[in-house]
Structure 1
Amino acid sequence: MTPFAVRRARLAAAMEPGGVAVLATAPEVARNSDSDYPYRHDSYFYYLTGFTEPEAVLVLVAACGETPARSILFCREKNVEREIWDGFRYGPAAARERFGFDEAYPIGELDAQMARLLADVPVLYYALSSNAALDAQVGGWLNAVRAQSRSGIKAPSRTQHLPALLDEMRLFKDESEQALMLRSATIAGAAHLRAMRAARPGMFEYELEAELLYEFRRNGAQFPAYTPIVASGANACVLHYSANNAQTVDGDLVLIDAGCEFDSYASDITRTFPVNGRFSEPQKLLYELVLRAQEAALAAVVPGRPYSDVHEAALNVLAGGMLELGLLDRARYGSVENVLAERAYTAFYMHGTGHWLGLDVHDTGSYRDLSLEGKPSRLLVPGMALTVEPGIYVRPGPDVPERFWNIGIRIEDDVIVGASGPRVLSGSAPKTVAEIETLMAER
């Protein structure tokens, strides 16, 4: 539990002396009738607690003068009868000991305790306007404190948005987080390998999805990190394709974008391969262009360089390749610089080259330095985690060479910014043409 206690201490130190922070975990959500969706805790809450049960709230009281900071958990009471139906629950006493809180109380006491904890507090930190029910509950707490004004007790005069403090903390992954992310990426990489080995023309996309899910779960991943994309043929040109119900055809490429969640940390990997095991010449030309773009982008993952350099490195390679292969008319655009200036590349590459990664697939943290005038792209710093995922998506069109029609390719890896460059977490999944064709020839 040490990393969680360290994070709570860091947050308390960033708060105003005597301030109080309140952070609730995610609610259980009904799927239909009497069935709930599989429960997944709130990422912010887990980051500070390691506690995964529903109906839980963390209250953090910042130090003030000689009074040290305190962490307080509110959670479900121990209930042996409910455990027969729903499984183990800690209860306040065991949760306090196991997770290192200073105090713990039943969740039913939250409202009464908050009226006490918020008395004479200068500022209340919580997720402002994120949840109407929470806003109403906070309003009730503040009114309960104001009701004590005749006794000289004052309610907090200010509220501040708690995630703003946590987002920057979560952007930098400590050693324990990096280890979990490596495990998550290793499991996901094995799943991509399994899908490549299983692929045959005529299979349905959902059959390949099943191979992924099997490999995730048998290696201990608790969930897919997001709905897997298994897109064959023209479906690969739909960026967020999720139906996964088409039948593959001999000669198709299959784009699989799939990651798992291991102990709350996400992986996010994309590989593209020929379902019959051999790239056609047009497929190979586009694939190797995307791979060169990814190599250039990875080379830009260096401490001290702007985050935007990663995207710009990929764009330069892709724009040049689009001209070289005739996807864009050289007579019209003339140069890479013109392609970039006119954003002509967006006909075939319309998304960014990556995003932060961590507890959430699209993790927290600003991509710009908000402290500087003009808010330029922030500089990369060791401990940041991101994806690097260039692609190319060629839909039929009157000015588009027919041999490239309906080819969609994306190559995505998970990366930690290291002291001198990128540390690729997902390298176990093959991605060169030779590696993929050799692997699939051995099926």
Structure 2
Amino acid sequence: MKYHPIDRNLFIKNRENFASQMKPNSLAVFNSNDVYPIGADSTIPFQQDRNIFYLSGVDQEESILVLFPDCPNPKHREILFLTETNDHIAVWEGEKLTKEKAFETSGVKTVYWLQDFDKIFKEIMAQADTIYINTNEHYRANVATETREARFNKQIKAQFPAHKVEKSNPILQRLRSIKDPIEIDLMQKACNITEKGFRRILEFTKPGVWEYNLEAEFMHEFLNNRSKGFAYTPIIASGNNANVLHYIENNQPCKAGDLILLDVGAEYANYSSDMSRTIPVSGKFTNRQKQVYNAVNRVKDEATKMLVPGTIWADYHVEVGKLMTSELLGLGLLDKADVQNENPDWPAYKKYFMHGTSHHIGLDTHDYGLLHEPMQANMVFTVEPGIYIPDEGFGVRLEDDVVIQEQGEPFNLMANIPIEANEIEELMNA
């Protein structure tokens, strides 16, 4: 891994919090993600299942974590199963985790090799009444492939039909949504790396560069700062491309007078950052571009102030819609009749701002969190309003990542990333 070691106390605490919400005499199992084949002997670079990472810090394929807080054998209350490393693996792939290194990483004292899993798991299942299975129930999930976890869950239900089955997901949705100080520090590192990439872009951008040139400049800076790359597929959208919300082709030239919408974030230690900035190709906004830009920035600033404990996500978006409606009236994009005659299910402002303003962020860019429950301190949200005007050939989106505080306004993890229009111009023309 490129990132520095993480304090294992984070994972110890996460397991304690999860175990405290399990039913009596129950165990929970978490599997690593598959290594997915592409063709021939090629594979997609491994990405660890977020839940096993959250609970153990183990960032290695074919790993299994078992939690059984009430196990009669204290040695089996927490178990890691890992692929046994050997000289051959060390030469061809690099050394895998040893039992000692696994303990240093996770704080789990009992580590077995994967070849012993079936025998030991059968033994402890005979002592348990309930098994918690790991399922992906994120509100945006669209799982088209059968995962390693899904295959395991199917096998376990067939092999142990008399056991009660519970879901780990409801517990993890709540636990993962509230960040530990160690997690916030890791996310700050991801945001700091994103800042370095953005400042590099401000120096590099000029008419005639291509969108993919900018993508490459970001990647250069990310890799040089211990990130494995983008937290999600980057959007580098110049001109009218910005009006395609998930434009990812990044294959067009950046023309004088156009704006470039950058929706980019570095990952660090599997934690995401998520930044949007909009910059002028020529280093200076037109008057109209700056009007729209400043309107979006005002909405972002006012929306941020609403992210406090007790806020309901759906109500928050209604209030942000009112802010955006006022700005769109001021820009002449809406008139009073548009607002008076609007469809309550699709308000008038949605013509120019059709996506949500905030989502949880953490180990996933769209992280776990129950949107119907009130916001709490130490949740981390994006704030990302936008105005998209295809008829005028540009769109503007601005986005920061903020931590809800017990009192006062959220803490902005991206406070050091330039965002004011005048500062952007000054830096691009320095």
Q: Same fold (TM over 0.5)?
A: yes
Q: Which amino acid aligns with 1:241?
A: Y
- Counterpart in 2 of 1:392? 387
Indicate whether 1:419 and 2:424 are aligned. no
Q: 1:407 aligns with which of 385, 394, 403?
A: 394
User: In structure 1, how many angstroms separate the alpha carbons of the residues matched to 2:156 and 2:108?
Assistant: 22
Counterpart contact for 1:233–1:407, Cα < 8 Å: yes
Map 1:108-187 → 2, pairs under 5 A: 108-128=115-135, 131=146, 134-138=149-153, 140-141=155-156, 155-156=162-163, 158-187=164-193
- Counterpart in 2 of 1:440? 428
User: In structure 1, how many angstroms separate the alpha carbons of the residues matched to 2:154 and 2:260?
Assistant: 52
- Counterpart in 2 of 1:199? 205
Q: 1:224 aligns with which of 225, 230, 246?
A: 230
Q: 2:95 aligns with which of 88, 91, 98?
A: 88
Q: What does the per-residue CA deviation read over 1:129-175, in whole Å, with 9 as the maximum and x for residues that have no partner?
A: 884654554454455557xxxxxxxx42x101112211110000011
Counterpart contact for 1:190–1:428, Cα < 8 Å: no
Q: Which amino acid aligns with 1:362?
A: H
Q: Using a 3 Å threshold, how does the CA distance of structure 1 residues 290 and 68 change in structure 2: closer, same or farther? A: same
Indicate whether 1:40 and 2:47 are aligned. yes
Q: Which amino acid aligns with 1:425?
A: L
Q: 1:213 aligns with which of 209, 219, 226?
A: 219
User: In structure 2, how many angstroms separate the alpha carbons of the residues matched to 1:308 and 1:247?
Assistant: 39
Counterpart contact for 1:319–1:340, Cα < 8 Å: no
Alpha-carbon offset, residue 395 of structure 1? 1.6
- Counterpart in 2 of 1:383? 378
Q: Which amino acid aligns with 2:220?
A: Y
Gaps of at least 5 residues in structure 1 are: 147-154, 370-378, 397-404
Q: What does the per-residue CA deviation read over 1:343-389, in whole Å, with 9 as the maximum and x for residues that have no partner?
A: 111111100001000000000011102xxxxxxxxx22111000000
- Counterpart in 2 of 1:296? 302
- Counterpart in 2 of 1:55? 62
User: In structure 1, how many angstroms separate the alpha carbons of the residues matched to 2:151 and 2:423?
Assistant: 57
**% identical aligned pairs:** 34
Q: Using a 3 Å threshold, how does the CA distance of structure 1 residues 69 and 197 change in structure 2: closer, same or farther? A: same
- Counterpart in 2 of 1:366? 370
Q: Using a 3 Å threshold, how does the CA distance of structure 1 residues 263 and 329 change in structure 2: closer, same or farther? A: same
Counterpart contact for 1:91–1:106, Cα < 8 Å: no
User: In structure 1, how many angstroms separate the alpha carbons of the residues matched to 2:51 and 2:291?
Assistant: 43
Map 1:261-280 → 2, pairs under 5 A: 261-280=267-286
Q: Using a 3 Å threshold, how does the CA distance of structure 1 residues 132 and 31 change in structure 2: closer, same or farther? A: closer
Between stretches 312-321 and 169-178, larger displacement belongs to: 312-321
Counterpart contact for 1:294–1:390, Cα < 8 Å: yes
Report the aligned-residue RMSD. 2.2
Alpha-carbon offset, residue 313 of structure 1? 3.8
Alpha-carbon offset, residue 122 of structure 1? 1.4
Q: 2:356 aligns with which of 334, 339, 352?
A: 352
- Counterpart in 2 of 1:323? 329
Q: 1:9 aligns with which of 12, 16, 37?
A: 16
Q: What does the per-residue CA deviation read over 1:292-330, in whole Å, with 9 as the maximum and x for residues that have no partner?
A: 110110111222333345433432222112222221233
The SS at the match of 1:14 is: coil
Counterpart contact for 1:116–1:145, Cα < 8 Å: no
Task: State which structure, 1 or 2, has the greater radius of gyration over its C-alpha atoms.
Answer: 1
The SS at the match of 1:224 is: coil
Q: Which amino acid aligns with 1:346?
A: K
Counterpart contact for 1:115–1:142, Cα < 8 Å: no
The SS at the match of 1:408 is: strand
Alpha-carbon offset, residue 3 of structure 1? 1.2
- Counterpart in 1 of 2:4? none
Counterpart contact for 2:24–2:70, Cα < 8 Å: yes
- Counterpart in 2 of 1:399? none
User: In structure 1, how many angstroms separate the alpha carbons of the residues matched to 2:265 and 2:156?
Assistant: 41
Q: Using a 3 Å threshold, how does the CA distance of structure 1 residues 65 and 30 change in structure 2: closer, same or farther? A: closer
Counterpart contact for 1:191–1:212, Cα < 8 Å: yes
Would you say how many aligned residue pairs link Structure 1 and Structure 2?
A: 414
User: In structure 1, how many angstroms separate the alpha carbons of the residues matched to 2:419 and 2:70?
Assistant: 51
TM-score by length of 2: 0.91
Q: Which amino acid aligns with 1:75?
A: L
Q: Which amino acid aligns with 2:382?
A: T
The SS at the match of 1:363 is: coil
Counterpart contact for 2:312–2:371, Cα < 8 Å: no
The SS at the match of 1:73 is: strand
The SS at the match of 1:90 is: coil
- Counterpart in 2 of 1:76? 83
Between stretches 70-79 and 305-314, larger displacement belongs to: 305-314
Counterpart contact for 2:339–2:348, Cα < 8 Å: no
Q: 2:196 aligns with which of 180, 186, 190?
A: 190
- Counterpart in 1 of 2:3? none
The SS at the match of 2:35 is: coil
Q: Which amino acid aligns with 1:230?
A: I
User: In structure 2, how many angstroms separate the alpha carbons of the residues matched to 1:305 and 1:113?
Assistant: 46
Q: Which amino acid aligns with 1:62?
A: P
Q: Which amino acid aligns with 1:191?
A: G
Alpha-carbon offset, residue 419 of structure 1? 2.1
Q: Using a 3 Å threshold, how does the CA distance of structure 1 residues 114 and 143 change in structure 2: closer, same or farther? A: farther
The SS at the match of 2:301 is: helix
Q: Which amino acid aligns with 2:212?
A: Y
User: In structure 1, how many angstroms separate the alpha carbons of the residues matched to 2:72 and 2:18?
Assistant: 17
The SS at the match of 2:20 is: helix
